[in-house]
Structure 1
Amino acid sequence: MASPIEDRRNGRRAAQLRLMSQVARLYHVRNLRQREIAELLQMSQARVSRLLAQAQEQGFVRTAVIVPEGLHPDLEGAIELAYGVNEVHVVEVTSEESIPVELGIVAAQYFSESPIEGSLIGFTSWSTTLRVMARELESSRGGGRRAVVEMLGDLGSPELQHEAARATQRLATSLGAEPVFLRTPGVVPDRDRQRSVLADPYVARTLDLLGSLDVAFVGVGPADTHGPLLAGDNFFSAEQLASVRAAGAAGQLLQRFVNSSGEPLDTPLDDLVIGITLAQLRSAGRRIVVAGGQTKHAALTACLRGGWADLLITDLTTARHLDAAAGSSAHVNSRTD
């Protein structure tokens, strides 16, 4: 069995190979200039040049890009083109149950190799996948004054709320940033309670920051109970969720509901949420989604159709679903799964 140090070393190597392959594909297959690649991936042009040189040294580039085992660049490219997403990474996972952990680890590896830029970073702290990412992310030096801001109040049990706060602290520490917590219920019982919460100056100040995010790690889920959440447990009731599904909700972004085209759905439940609005989310500089699994297929399709993601990290089965939903021609790697 590999040691934790060997696992981390292998993880960094896999992330570096993935990045080399992606840069080589953008340059040699999609014919983007190095400057354009640097802007798209938010890295320096010098780093793009180094990655291209490394890809050639590794033998990835001859007369074509040679794809390392386990990567799916054709499928990633199809989803990018079909939905207008800047960057898609498809991950082979060992099981449906392991998706949150495996995607979270891959995301941590990716952002260790391609550091998160921006001074104001929005974070969905109750997401299981993003909590894994925060735990596994290697520390990096923050440039200047930075903050990690929670984009939604507390959901679920006290234990989950505690884990969410710890994840925010971990991510902030890794990025050399200050954590900004939103210590209030994420879903309140009625409109009067929402007004009372919004009157708190600390809550108001935090919510105001959410209109100026450089990066937003977006939580995406079905219009139903999911993950560690339970109906009515500091969350919507089963009846409330049934009502929004009947009104056309295909999924939610931070508990704001969208229809199957990804358009915002105006529902009374909006008045019960303490967190980022869809208008604020739309204005974020870069929106990152790390999610997958069968229960999220409809929600992720709606998310991409609505243009809510600039970068997506997801599992292979979900990626194939997204490709089929886009009406793309079938493309699979030459090897069998």
Structure 2
Amino acid sequence: MDKFEVKLDQAARAAWMSFVGGMTQDEIAYQLGVSRPGVQRLLALARQEGLVKVHIDHPISTCMALGRTLRDRFSLAYCEVVPADNHAPDSVLSYLAVAAAERIAKLVERSEPLTLSLGSGRSVRAAVESLRHVERPQHRFVSLVGNVARDGSTNRYDAVMLMADKTGGERFLLPTPIVAGSLGEKEAMLTQRLFKAIADVATESEAAFIGIGRIDRQATLFRDHFISESELDELLGLKAVGELLGWPLNSDGDVIDCSITRRVTSLPLERFGKHLMVAIAGGREKAPAIRAALRGGWLKGLVTDEVAARQIVETL
């Protein structure tokens, strides 16, 4: 038994004592000979690896109604709306992660070879973190956005490496910045054999799970140094409200033609017309960007929360 299996065994014991035995964390710590923070980490591992399965045997009518409205209005294959905790807005990420992980698991856990594309961002990363380990070396996972910032730092929310580690599958990373420094730089990247090979894998994917970025002073593109402040100002001046894979969108969901768009290295959104493009995003601040992605017809699936869903429905 390797170290991870030993830790997993201990996590299962902690989960059993907590959720079945009703023991406190202090009692579990005494029984297992670990600290209280150690128990908390074990319980978190048990949830992350799918050892603890929660089934709520009652549909949340409000969320279901919002989901149906968005699904029917925007011709989605599905729209899942999770509850929102008004007293703990940060909880939306964990709720989205669990719901999205269930959708991803239905694809990843099958035995037939799968090619799956992934965007980046906190929600996508959290969803992959919520998946349990399952051996699927026959699968391929490919990133849809560059994982290098202009300063050379890597994308901290990349999910492909983690997905490959959890399954033993092949990984394909896009070794570019999301936005190239110049047109010449972009053209040089796109003509490289490596870039073309990864792009070919991405177009073969059955589905893509991506995040939706907001365009404002808190935009991930800006805060993680993928675009400069002057480029952010340009996008704001052009009324950009969100972005998909680095492609900026206006409120109608149209890709904005500007100097930044011409330097985006991600595959054009039109290339994914036949794919199941699923977005994972929620929160009041993301609602305009989610609405834009829906209006543009870019999505075939959506996992969001009731705050964002209600805000979008109210504008229909």
Q: Which TM-score tier does this pair reach, normalised by the shorter chain?
A: 0.7 to 0.9
Partner of 2:142: 149
Amino acid in the other structure paired with 1:311: G
RMSD between aligned alpha carbons?
A: 2.9
Is 1:288 the equivalent of 2:278?
A: yes
Partner of 1:211: 203
Partner of 2:115: 120
Partner of 1:36: none
Q: Residues 288 and 309 of structure 1 are in contact (CA less than 8 Å); yes or no, is this contact kept in structure 2? A: yes
Cα deviation, residue 7, structure 1: 4.4
Partner of 1:132: 126
Q: 2:163 aligns with which of 163, 168, 171?
A: 171
1:179-214 deviation line (CA, Å, top 9, x unaligned)? 101122222211111122223321222123333331
Amino acid in the other structure paired with 1:287: M
Partner of 1:300: 290
Amino acid in the other structure paired with 2:231: Q
Partner of 1:224: 216
1:81-123 deviation line (CA, Å, top 9, x unaligned)? 12211211111133323323331233224433x3347722111
Q: Which moved more, 1:84-93 or 1:241-250?
A: 241-250
Q: 2:245 aligns with which of 245, 251, 254?
A: 254
Is 1:311 the equivalent of 2:305?
A: no
Whole-angstrom distance in 2 between the partners of 1:259 and 1:223: 10
Cα deviation, residue 11, structure 1: 5.9
Cα deviation, residue 290, structure 1: 0.7
- For the residue of structure 2 that corresponds to 1:152, the secondary structure is coil
Return the TM-score normalized by structure 1: 0.70
- For the residue of structure 2 that corresponds to 1:252, the secondary structure is strand
Is 1:244 the equivalent of 2:235?
A: yes
**Any unmatched runs of 5+ in structure 2?**
1-17, 20-42
Cα deviation, residue 249, structure 1: 2.3
Q: Residues 72 and 90 of structure 1 are in contact (CA less than 8 Å); yes or no, is this contact kept in structure 2? A: yes
Partner of 2:189: 197
Cα deviation, residue 178, structure 1: 0.7
Return the TM-score normalized by structure 2: 0.74
Is 1:96 the equivalent of 2:89?
A: yes
1:283-331 deviation line (CA, Å, top 9, x unaligned)? 4x201111011221111001111222222111110010121122xxxxx
Change (3 A) 1:275 1:69: closer
Partner of 1:180: 172
Whole-angstrom distance in 2 between the partners of 1:255 and 1:301: 16
- For the residue of structure 2 that corresponds to 1:90, the secondary structure is strand
Equivalenced residues, count: 270
Q: Residues 103 and 313 of structure 1 are in contact (CA less than 8 Å); yes or no, is this contact kept in structure 2? A: yes
**Equivalent runs, 1:29-44 vs 2, <5 Å:** none
1:104-145 deviation line (CA, Å, top 9, x unaligned)? 233224433x334772211113x0111111112113454x84
Amino acid in the other structure paired with 1:76: G
Q: Residues 213 and 289 of structure 2 are in contact (CA less than 8 Å); yes or no, is this contact kept in structure 1? A: yes
Partner of 2:30: none
Change (3 A) 1:282 1:303: same
Cα deviation, residue 276, structure 1: 1.7
Q: Residues 66 and 306 of structure 2 are in contact (CA less than 8 Å); yes or no, is this contact kept in structure 1? A: no
**Equivalent runs, 1:1-80 vs 2, <5 Å:** 3-4=43-44, 7=47, 12-14=53-55, 67-69=58-60, 72-80=63-71
Cα deviation, residue 4, structure 1: 4.2
Change (3 A) 1:242 1:70: same
1:146-191 deviation line (CA, Å, top 9, x unaligned)? 31111011255889726445x3122124345211011222222111
- For the residue of structure 2 that corresponds to 1:210, the secondary structure is helix
